[in-house]
């Protein structure tokens, strides 16, 4: 059973471009979470999704950020018009149920030039 | 708002020492607490999960305890090894999300 997969592992964008981060949960897991780790800061919750539904997006910035988890395919975290402050490691986690262990992917390290 | 604190931020010990990492949280309305390990530039590895109804969990040389009423958890590492050097993160689960502490960076000297 493969673990949580994220791609790309590293992503470089120029200011104003779009960034798309992908996450494939572990097999059998229908709950997906996105977290962001800014330099010198702890991990912060961004959004929690189940298949085709956003359950909690209280940690998402109000503008430029969106997330989806379609019926088929990976979960996508999309950042439009990136700025330097978006440079961070973005981690995806999945779990079989809401109160179960969350398993994390290796992360995508976004650098905005 | 839940806040999770891990003190100290860094710890250096000689190989073989038993050690305790502390974690405190402000809101006791949690459904679980999870300890993770993070190596530099890497993702998170789940070490132990304690449900809110449990007092402790053990895995190999690791033992984690939870005192929900006082808002505290400890991670005990027995007979530390240089390979244990990493950042250890505590995270409390509530309302479908994890709230993380900033971690304790452990260095085990050979």
Residue B87 CB partners (closer than 8 Å, separation 6+): B37, B38, B39, B40, B103, B104, B105, B106
CB proximity A33 to B under 8 Å? yes
Per-residue pLDDT of chain B (110 residues; tens, 9 = 90+): 899 999 999 999 999 999 999 999 999 999 899 999 999 888 899 999 999 999 999 999 999 999 999 999 999 999 999 999 999 999 999 878 899 999 999 999 99
How confident is the model at residue A52, as a pLDDT? 86
Asked if B31 is an interface residue toward chain A (Cβ–Cβ < 8 A), one would say yes
Tokens of B40: 């530099």
How far apart are alpha carbons A89 and A111 in whole angstroms?
Answer: 9
> Is the predicted pLDDT of residue A1 greater than 60, yes or no?
no
Q: Give the pLDDT of residue B95.
A: 79
**Does residue A2 surpass a pLDDT of 80?**
no
E strands in chain B: 4-5, 10-14, 19-25, 32-38, 44-51, 56-59, 62-67, 72-77, 86-94, 97-100, 104-109
Pick from A55, A89, A97, A102 the residue to mutate for testing the B interface (most B CBs within 10 Å): A102
Write the pLDDT tens digit of every residue in A27-85.
Answer: 989 999 999 998 778 899 999 999 889 999 999 999 999 999 998 899 999 999 999 99
Strands A108-112 and A10-13: parallel
Task: List, as one string, the DSSP characters of A14-66.
Answer: -TT--EEEEEEPPTT--EEEEEEE-TTS-EEEEEEEETTEEEE-TTS-SSSEE
B29 DSSP β-pair partners: none
Question: If you measure CA to CA, which chain B residue comes closest to A108?
Answer: B43
Tell me the Ramachandran region of residue B103: left when phi exceeds 0, alpha when psi lies from -120 to 50, beta otherwise: left
Is residue B33 less than 8 Å (CB to CB) from chain A? no
pLDDT at residue A51, as a whole number: 85
Contact assessment for residue A4 and residue A23, using Cβ atoms and an 8 Å cutoff:
yes
Widest CA span in chain B = 42
Q: A100 pLDDT exceeds 90?
A: no
**Per-residue confidence at A93, pLDDT binned at 50, 70, 90?**
very high
């Amino acid at each position: 059973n493969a673990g949580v997969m994220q791609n790309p592992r590293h992503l470089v964008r120029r200011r104003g471009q779009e960034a798309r981060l992908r996450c494939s949960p572990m097999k059998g897991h229908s709950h997906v979470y996105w977290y962001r780790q800014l330099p010198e800061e702890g991990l912060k919750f961004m959004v929690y999704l189940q298949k085709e539904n956003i359950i909690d997006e209280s940690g998402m910035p109000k503008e430029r950020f969106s997330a989806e988890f379609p019926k088929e395919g990976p979960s996508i975290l999309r950042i439009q018009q990136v700025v330097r402050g978006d440079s961070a490691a973005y981690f995806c986690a999945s779990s079989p149920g809401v109160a179960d262990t969350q398993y994390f992917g290796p992360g995508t390290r976004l650098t905005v030039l | 708002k839940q806040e999770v604190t891990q003190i100290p931020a860094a710890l250096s010990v000689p190989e073989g020492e038993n050690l305790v990492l502390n974690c405190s949280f402000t809101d006791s309305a949690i459904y679980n607490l999870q300890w993770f390990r993070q190596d530099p530039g890497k993702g998170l590895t789940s070490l132990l999960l304690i449900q809110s109804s449990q007092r402790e969990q053990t895995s190999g040389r690791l033992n984690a305890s939870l005192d929900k009423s006082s808002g505290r958890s400890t991670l005990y590492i027995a007979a530390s090894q240089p390979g244990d050097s990493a950042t250890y993160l505590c995270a409390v689960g509530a309302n479908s999300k994890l709230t993380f502490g900033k971690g304790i960076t452990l260095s085990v000297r050979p």
